[in-house]
Amino acid sequence: MRSQPRKQTSVALRRRRRQLLRHLPPLDRLLRGSLIERYKPCGKPGCKCARGPGHGPKYYLSVSYPGLRPRMDYVPQEAHAQTAEFVANYHRAREILEAISEINRELLRRREAL
Question: Which chain residues interact with Zn ion by CB under 5 A?
Answer: 42, 47, 49
Residue 49 or 107 having the CB closest to Zn ion:
49
CB of 47 to Zn ion, least distance (A): 3
CB of 73 to Zn ion, least distance (A): 24
Is the CB of residue 85 less than 8 Å from the CB of residue 25?
no
Angle (CA) 67-31-60 rounded to 5° is 75
Is the CB of residue 86 less than 8 Å from the CB of residue 30?
yes
Dihedral sign, CA of 25, 20, 97, 64?
A: positive
Residue 11 or 42 having the CB closest to Zn ion:
42
Residue 39 or 74 having the CB closest to Zn ion:
39
CB of 20 to Zn ion, least distance (A): 48
CB of 51 to Zn ion, least distance (A): 10
Dihedral sign, CA of 52, 55, 58, 64?
A: negative
Residue 47 or 72 having the CB closest to Zn ion:
47
